[in-house]
Each structure stands twice: as structure tokens, then as C-alpha cells.
Structure 1
Amino acid sequence: MFGRPVGNECGGSRGSMHPECCRPLANSLMNLAMTRLPRSHSSRILLIYTGGTIGMKESSSGLVPVSLEDLLEQLPDIDALPVELTLVSLDRPMDSSDLKPEHWVQIGELILKHSADMDAFLVLHGTDTMAYSAAALSFMMQHLGKPVIFTGSQLPLGHPRSDAASHWMSALEVAMALGPDGLPRVPEIALYFNHALFRGNRVRKLHAMGFDAFDSPNYPVLARAGTRIEYAEEAIGQGIPGQPFQQGRPAWFPALDQGVLSLKLFPGLRPDLWEVALHDPTVKAVLVEAYGAGNIPADGDLSELLRAFVQRGGHLIALSQCVGGQVDLTRYQSGRRLLDLGAISGMDMTFEAALTKTMHLLGTGGSDFREAFGQSIAGELGN
């Protein structure tokens, strides 16, 4: 768990960093407070460093995460920005492939604790699971009414061609941005990468090595950055119940049920290899990554296996293996097979959003799963 952040101990000029103030706290937290400006003149932002490529360095075994102190030595100067920045870090920054749902809870609890005294939140995160974390937080923390901006990089800060500095500075600017009404320009959980701002539960990582690693095929970008950042006002906040947000204490749902499996179809799949897993009583939901618009083969063994799972009370969710478009179980006969089995359409949700939404709904319980899954919680569904 995170420990107790502290602040306001450091002095100095605007935006200056004070590594000597960075020290380990009792419960797996490190904190560094930057010089404070009067609150009426600065944005109060909490930066959460989880690890990832943005803060890595070369080692004999490849790229490895660095500590918060090492990261601070490489962060670009922010002297020109009127920002009051507090930084916290996991005690052991990690490769994002090691992040688990418990870390989503830790990040969310830290945001919740500072929801009243911070104007925005910036999360430095590895790219491999950043879309999962952003989607999960959108369901776990609802109606925050403040920006939570995830960002990372494909190359470390110290690399001469790194995209890290641009992402860091632009994400910070987005987090600070206010609209004409003086309220946050982007009051939702979002992900910034390669000059584009995406809704957190609509984005996917589509490229392992390229700078254009992320995209949002089924929802427009929230903003694009060039010489200035242009915001897509018509996309920001749309489809999220409760908009416009009222700033205050958000609704917090930390319970997540990990009894979820993913079954990706492929030619030659043997249903018998899944029998043990689908008879496990701890498995409560299966995400079927079907072909096209939600099609499955006419395989009696597979259908019977899935039917038996549903009859035991399991939830069957139909997703598409395609990057864009949506599931339509009425379009083809092969799609109606899933419909007849009692499957729930994932519509145009990303895999990351469908998975984390399922964990969230199973964890919270108390409502009809099928009905709740078909309703937008945080703008993850299209019209």
C-alpha cells in the first residue's frame, strides 16, 4: 500500500526540484514536494510514478526501472509553468507487465486521498499495460471531475531520440488546462501519447515499437498537440453518465473480481483443452474473442461447453478480434450461435475496457450483470 504523502517542506524558486527532500516513507511510498506557489496562481498536481520505459536505464539484462530520485534528475525543467507539483512513487517502480489489479487499487486510493487538495493527477506508466490501468481506473473511480492523465514513452528519458520529454510536458499541460468556465478542460481519465489525448477506456496499444503506439479506433481523440493543443470539445465528457461533473468526493469502487478468462478463437481450437478451466467454480466470466462481428464456428463441442458454463451461472461476453468496429450478434448465423448461448454483446468496447469492466461489476455485485454490462459507466460504450 501507499504510505502517507507529505509536502510543503521544500523551499526555493518556482518549479525548482529538491532531491534532498525526497526520502522513503513508512509504507512503500516516496515523496518529493516542489516549491509551492499561492494556490490562486498555480495548478496543484500529483504525479504518480509507477515505473515503465519512461524511467528506465540500460543494464546488463536490458532496460530496468530507475528510482524516483534518478528519474527526477532527467525530467525536463518546468520553471516556466505555474504548477505546484507533488511527486510520489511506488517503493519499487516496475515494468508495467508486472502490474496487477492491486496496483490499480493503490493508485486509485492515492488519488482518492488527494481528491480534494489536488487539481489534477498525472500517472507515469509503462506502455504495455497502461490501457488496462486507465480503463480500470475509469470504472473504479467515477465522477472525480478532475483530470487523471496517464502517459509513458517508447524510449527512456535519457535516450537522445526519446519521446518521453514531449509526453511528460504535454500531459502536464493537459492536466493543468482550464476551460473558459475555470473548470478542468479534460475532467476524465485519459491517456496521452504521440501528440494525441485518448479516453482511457477507449484506447489500445497497437504497436510494440513505434512512437504511434496507441490508438482509439472507436472513439475520437480528445485532443491533438502541435504548436498548441487543440481540444475536441464535442468528444470530451460525452457518453459519461453524470456529465458535467461536479467536483467533489468521487465514487470509489475498489473491489475487483479476477475470476475472468479470455478465450480467443482460432482455426483448430480444441474445446476439450478448456473443459477444466470452464468447470472451475471460481471462473465467473469468459470473454470470447470471436471472429469479425462476433462469429464462432459451428462446433458442437465448443457450443456445449459454453452453454454449460452459462447454465452454471457464468457470464459469456462476446468481443471481436478486430481492432475497429463492433460486435453484432444478429448479423450472421455464426454470430447468432453466441446469442443463442446467452452471450452478452461487448459492442464496441476494447478488450481492456471489457475485461476491467467485468472485474469491476463482478467485484461490486448487487445488480443484474447483463443489464449493467450493457450500460455505459464511464463512456466506454458507443451509442
Structure 2
Amino acid sequence: MKKILLIYTGGTIGMTKDYESMTLKPFDFQNISEKIPELNLIDAALDIYSFDSLIDSSDMNMEGWRNIAEVIYDKYDDYHGFVVLHGTDTMSYAASALSFMLQGLKKPIIFTGSQLPIGELRTDAKENLISSIHFAALSNEENQPLIHEVCIYFEYKLYRGNRTVKMSSNHFDAFKSPNFPTLGESGVYLTLNKEALLIQRKSQLRYYPNLSGEIALIKIYPSMSLEFLINTLNLKNLKVLIIEAFGAGNIFSNPTFNKKLKEKTKEGLHIIIGTQCVYGGVEIGKYEASSIWLRVNAISAKDMTTEAAITKAMHILGNPESYPDFTAAFNKNMSGEHTSSEINFS
């Protein structure tokens, strides 16, 4: 029988209401089959791994991502697939980070959670959990996994993790993949969009535990303070600045800011240009208002999510021996994080 490891990190999904105090408290996932007896009907053996200290997803960070990745890496050969229970607020960051930290996957890692706790009458937790396990257990005729990447499953849809953003704080349909099709859907039957799935890697699993936080993110807006922009560029130890620009990569014109950009990039600062638009991507040079990026050798984030751009930059900075050329590494499509005809599996 196929084995699936359920990794519980924290989040809304693992809460149940104490009706005496009317507060939410963590649920013991070792007793999950009592709360969801339908799990006993799944044709897979389910093991549970819970973090010693459960984490609200707002407190999830690089150390937490590393802990999740290490559990999967250490137990990789023992399981057919992995389901990670995680709070929704930063789930897209975690899924994106793991897509870069664990490369060469031949098994599924599926993140899921819920908008209502598992103990609530109208909870979405049960369906999300059951279907995530079902997707993680899918196999071909040789009993090998059909999914070989990091995903997010939520409200009947399976998404590529590093293409996903949280779009709603109060709807069950909380996540979207604005620039990439869904990988699968849960209805009467489970269906996979096989053309959208990453192909199975030829290389062995590689674990990159190191991440660097020497990154800043700016979302520009009209009449933005020049002093704030200059102070950000002057931050000590800053190695990467991600700028969420207007539209296809446009920004206001300011000679002082432009001069400072040129100065800092000559000193080695990497500038990455993303877009504030949910749909579409960056096209540097399409409009005059984006021409400054050509003059400072800025890097286009293409149609990547902000979550993917941040975690990819963290990954590259944390592994300089593997990526001596930051720009070349960022432009590579490592794990299907941006739209490209080629994905680099080296």
C-alpha cells in the first residue's frame, strides 16, 4: 500500500473550538481519523508528523521552510508523497520556497489548509485534506507518482505552488494561479491536466537548505517619497531589491533616483522588476517609462508571482557556489515558476 506523510505545521486547519471557553485550540492530528473517519477509506497508509511548536503562518519564515524541507528530504525514500498542512496567509511563499529548495522531485509535495477550522460545522478542511491525500497518492501503471512537483490544493483545484497567490481572506476559493493553468481538479473524479504538469526529473533529488534574507521589496505608488527610495537603496547588506512596478514594468521618472540606481547596481546590487498586476507580466523596454531598467541592467521577473520572485532570490543568494551568476540563475526556469518554453532541470 502507498504511504503518504502528513506534515502538520500549524494554521487554521488544525484548530477546533473549545465550547467551554469558546476559543480555538490546536487539534491533535494523531487522532485525525476520529475527526475524519473517511480517511480510513483512502487506499493509502497515512503517517502523521507534527511540528513540536505549531506555527501561525504569519510567523512562518526561512527556518520554518527549512524544517519542512528537511523532514521531506530525510523521509523522501519512505513515502509515495507528502501533504503539508499550513496556514493560508503565507502558504504561497512556503510552496514557492520548497520548489527551489527541493529540486529533482519525483514525488508530490502538496500544501493545503482551510479557511475554517477542522472542528467547525461548515469547515472546508475535510475536503481539502482528503483530496490532497488522494492527489498525492495518484500513480501510474508502475505504481510511480504521477505528480513530481510542489503544489497547493484548495477548494477543488490543484495548482503549481510557485504560480499561486492568495486572493481572498474570506472565500473558500482562496487561491488562484493567474498566469498558469490548474494542474488538476476534484469533482466526481480526480482529473489531472497532464500537459501542465512538470515532467519527471532525470536528476536525483537535491536539497538546498541555505537561504538569504538580504532582500528588500518595494511597491511603488504615485508621489512616492524620494527619501524613502534612496534610504532603501542605501540599506546595509542589501543585495537584491525587488520593485513592484506599474503595468508592464513602468515607473515614474526621477533623475536623482535614476542616478542612485546606476550607482548601486555598479556596486553589485541586483534589481528585479515585477508588476503590481495580478495577470500578465513584465516587458522591460516596451514603454519609455520602463527604459531606466535597461540602463541599469535590471532583471525582469517576467510573469512570476511576488512570492516566487522573493523566494527564488533567497535561494540563489543562499547558494553562491551553485549560482555564481545571479542574473543567469534568476533568468533560468528552475521549477516552472514563470512562463517559458524551456525549464532547466540541471
Specify the TM-score bucket, using the shorter chain as the normaliser.
Answer: over 0.9
Q: Which residue in the other structure is 2:200 paired with?
A: 244
Contact 2:128 2:154 in 1 (8 A): yes
Helix, strand or coil at the partner of 1:149: strand
CA distance in 2, matches of 1:361, 1:203: 20
The question of 1:93 aligning with 2:50 is answered: no
CA-to-aligned-CA distance 1:237-258 (integer Å, 9 cap, x gap)? 1xxxxx4225x85101111000
Residue from 222, 232, 238 that aligns with 1:277: 232
Distance across 2 between alignment mates of 1:99 and 1:349: 21
Matched, 1:369 2:326: yes
Matching of residues 141-290 of structure 1 within 5 Å: 141-237=102-198, 243-246=199-202, 249-290=204-245
Q: Distance in 2 between matches of 1:78 and 1:63?
A: 23
Shift in Å, 1:128: 0.3
Q: Which of the residues 42, 55, 58 maps onto 2:14?
A: 55
**Contact 1:217–1:324 (Cα < 8 Å) also in 2:** yes
Letter in 2 for 1:206: M
**SS in structure 2 at match of 1:112:** helix
Match of 2:255 in 1: 300
TM-score, scaled to structure 2: 0.92
Q: 1:125·1:152 contact (CA, 8 Å) conserved in 2?
A: yes
The Cα offsets for residues 22-69 of structure 1, whole Å up to 9 and x where unpaired, read as xxxxxxxxxxxxxxxxxxxx1111110001110123577965544445
Preserved contact between residue 51 and residue 125 of structure 1 (Cα < 8 Å): yes
Structure with a larger share of its residues in helix: 2
* In 1, Cα distance between equivalents of 2:287 and 2:183: 34
1:83-128, Cα deviation, whole Å (9 max, x unpaired): 2221111112121011111011111111010111111111001000
Instruction: Give per-residue Cα distances to partners, 1:207-262, cap 9 Å, x unaligned.
Output: 1111111010111100011111111010011xxxxx4225x851011110000000
C-alpha contact (below 8 Å) 1:67/1:93 kept by paired residues: no
Structure 1, unmatched stretches of 5+, are: 1-41, 238-242
Cα distance between partner residues in 2 of 1:74 and 1:172: 16
Give per-residue Cα distances to partners, 1:67-90, cap 9 Å, x unaligned.
445766534432222222211111
Contact residue 212 and residue 318 of structure 2 kept, 8 A: yes
What is the identity, as a one-letter code, of the residue corresponding to 1:244? Q
Cα-to-partner distance string for 1:329-353 (whole Å, 9 max, x where unaligned) = 1210001122222210000111010
Q: Quick one: which amino acid aligns to residue 328 of structure 2? A: E
Instruction: Show the counterpart of 1:382.
Output: 339
Counterparts of 1:278 and 1:47, CA distance in 2: 42
User: Match for 1:74 among 35, 52, 62?
Assistant: 35
Partners of 1:159 and 1:129 lie apart in 2 by 22
**For the residues of structure 2 that align with 1:274 and 1:296, how far apart are their CA atoms?**
12
153-162 vs 297-306, which moves further: 297-306
CA–CA separation in structure 1 for the residues paired with 2:26 and 2:149: 28
Give the count of matched residue pairs: 336
Structure 2 spans left out of the alignment, 5+ residues: 341-346
1:336 and 2:291 are equivalent in the alignment: yes
Q: Which moved more, 1:265-274 or 1:303-312?
A: 303-312
CA contact (8 A) 1:295 1:338 kept: no
Provide the C-alpha distance between the structure 2 equivalents of 1:90 and 1:303, rounded to a whole number of angstroms. 47
CA shift in 2, pair 1:122/1:327, >3 Å: same
Do the aligned partners of residues 229 and 188 (structure 1) sit closer, same or farther apart at CA in structure 2, a change above 3 Å counting? same
> Does the 8 Å contact 1:197/1:223 carry over to 2?
yes
Q: Is contact 1:57–1:63 with CA below 8 Å preserved after alignment?
A: yes
Normalised by the length of structure 1, the TM-score is 0.84
Structure 2 SS opposite 1:51: coil
* Paired AA for residue 178 in structure 1: S
Aligned twin of 2:89: 128
Structure 1 stretch 325-334 or stretch 65-74: which is displaced more?
65-74
Q: Match of 2:35, SS?
A: coil
- Contact 1:96 1:125 (C-alpha < 8 Å) held by counterparts: yes
Distance 1:377 1:115 in 2: 20
Q: Does 1:321 align with 2:282?
A: no
CA RMSD of aligned residues (A): 1.8
Give the structure 2 partner of residue 347 of structure 1.
302
Please tell me the residue identity of whatever aligns with 2:155: N
